[in-house]
Homo-oligomer: A and B are copies of this chain.
Amino acid sequence: MKFELLKTDGAARVARLSTAHGPVDTPAFMPVGTQGSVKSLTPEDLRRTGAQILLANTYHLFLRPGHRLIGELGGLHRFMSWDGPILTDSGGFQVYSLAALGKVSEEGVRFRSHLDGSEHLLTPELSVEIQQALGADIIHPLDECLAHPVHRAETEASQALTLRWAARAKAVHSRGSGRQAMFGIVQGGGYQDVRRRAVEETCALEFDGYAIGGLAVGEPKPLMLDLLELSAALLPKDRPRYLMGVGTPPDLVEAVARGVDLFDCVLPTRNARNGQLFTAHGVLTIKQARYAADPTPPEEGCACYTCRTFSLAYLRHLFVGRELLAYRLLSLHNLHFYLALLADMRAAILRGTFDAFRTRFFERYAVSSLDVSSENLADTEA
């Protein structure tokens, strides 16, 4: 994997990440394909939204259909017919958020499947083995992700465990094909000094890039941004920085301003299925009666298939009638919006006008309840 920094504007930066399955222009947003499918969309649709890289969930694919099956069928790219880059998480976040039990020991985390209750032990070694069978371009070591708030002593102990797991994961990874990159995950909870040490110790292990985890897990938004700023500033400039599971359009703008390169989040697709559309002016709720006879598209001038082809009145009719097409058309628009937002930010950074872009964005965008909540929507879409 190659990471070529092209331009910085303040802390914001534009780069090109080169993987075995093609390039990614950063800052980039990764649509979430939890079970090996970005819900309701084909690979062809995803290309048309401008997506260059997808995220898939190790936890889900391990449980069903199983990493061995996917490996035997030629890996995840071939299985889901996506020939661009894929990033997988370690499975840890889902074990804590979806599975029962979630009993952490030095060895790993024991859990019961959310599908059938079967018991499994996810170790740092198994997590890498699964991700190797899937064949993702970028993989992650198993980590422990704490909710907020957690006491200092517990946070420090957890970060120390995450670091020991990272070393074990890296040892397995280093015996791999060399075609996969591995990102280290920076945890450290809500304490600036623990985060600082987490960054330093994780970087000492020398990963191909760094994920910032454990943010938007219940902490106030200002603290989240402070912790993010601190973590990003300490990370090496010549490696990609990935903010896990965040967030709303304003979150993305703020994170790019602090030097983040990669994002994933289920908001554009999950909220589409709940009838919410993202626009430059904020969030639009399609079922509202005001759209019943509205002949205009969700967003004037938007180049997505949905906006070029259908009216708010029709989309509302589909959504109210629970037509499957509604989920797809709204997902298409939302992903297009996210990917266009990232493209606009890249263009602004390249022109050296990112500050003006950011100001203009917040002048237009009506911040909603979504932007206040700090639920982490990390990489799980099931």
Contact = CB atoms under 8 A, between A and B. Distances in A.
Contacts of A94: none
B40 A314 contact: no
Nearest to A294: B73
Contact of A323 (B35, B81, B320): B35
A317 B39 contact: no
Contacts of A37: 318, 321, 323, 325
A35 B64 CA distance: 34
A39 B323 contact: yes
A324 B381 CA distance: 12
A328 B40 contact: yes
A233 B203 CA distance: 82
A292 interface: yes
A97 interface: no
A313 B309 CA distance: 33
B323 A324 contact: no
A36 B317 contact: yes
A64 to B, nearest CB: 6
A329 B40 CA distance: 10
A42 B325 contact: yes
Nearest to A325: B37
A311 interface: yes
A81 B72 CA distance: 43
A327 interface: yes
Interface in A58-72: 64-65, 69, 72
B73 A295 contact: yes
A293 interface: yes
B42 A317 contact: no
Given A73-B293, A292-B69, A317-B36, A81 B324 contact: no
Contact of A65 (B39, B292, B309, B328): B292
Given A292-B69, A309-B81, A40 B324 contact: yes
A292 B318 CA distance: 33
Contact of A324 (B321, B328, B382): B328
A35 B318 CA distance: 8
Contacts of A36: 314, 317-318
Contacts of A313: 65, 69, 73, 79
B35 A305 contact: no
A314 B42 contact: no
A102 to B, nearest CB: 22
Interface of A: 35-37, 39-44, 64-65, 69, 72-74, 79-81, 292-293, 295, 305, 309-311, 313-314, 317-318, 320-321, 323-325, 327-329, 382
10 contacts: A35-B323, A37-B321, A37-B325, A39-B323, A39-B325, A43-B309, A44-B305, A64-B320, A73-B293, A81-B309
